[in-house]
Amino acid sequence: MRPGISNETLTLAGVRLVTADEAKALCGLPQAGLWLPYRNLDGSAVRDGDKDYGRLRLDQPRGDMKYYQTGGTTVHAYLPPTVADVATVGGDLCVVEGEFKSLSLTEAGFPVFMDSHQKMARKWCRSWPLSWTGSNPRAFCSAVIPTRP
C-alpha cells in the first residue's frame, strides 16, 4: 500500500483503504483514500469530541491538499503502534511531519512520532509515559526515509 512500510506494519497501525462512503462516515468527506486512525500509546483510539480521530490520505488530491481531517478537530500526535517497543529510556525521541514517515522510521528501529505542527513536541516529550529524561525531540528532514533491505 505504501513504499518503505511493510503491510504488517500498516495493518498493525490500522491503515486501510476506504471507499467514499466510508470516508464520509469517518471524517465527513466523501472521497476514497487511506484511513489513518490515531491511537494512544496503550493502543486505544484518540478521541476528538465524540468521535475516534484519524486523517484521510486522499486518493485524488484536491490541489495541494493530500490529507483531510474532520473540520473543527484539534491537532494530535501520531504514535506508530510499535514506538514504545523501540524506545530506550533516556534515549532520543524523533519528531517528523507525516504519519507514513513515522511508521517507516519506527519500523526501521527509530523511536519516532508525528507532530504535523511540531508545536506539541517539547510539551509531549516532557510528559512521555516511559519517563525519558534529558531528551529533546529531533526533527528529521522530510527527505530522510530509510530504505528497506
Residues 114 and 62 in one domain: no
Any domain includes 77: no
CA 115 – CA 1 distance, rounded (Å):
22
Q: Dump pLDDT digits (tens) for 102-112.
A: 899 889 888 87
Any domain includes 75: no
Domain residues for the domain of 133 are: 83-139
Any domain includes 114: yes
pLDDT above 60: residue 74? yes
Which residues lie closer than 8 Å to 72 by C-beta, 6 or more apart?
49
**Does residue 139 or residue 92 have the better pLDDT?**
92
pTM for this prediction: 0.77
Any domain includes 37: yes
Instruction: Classify strands 94-96 and 138-139 as parallel, antiparallel or unpaired.
Output: parallel
- Domains identified in the chain, total number: 2
Residue 51's H or E segment, with its range, is: strand 51-52
Residues 32 and 60 in one domain: yes
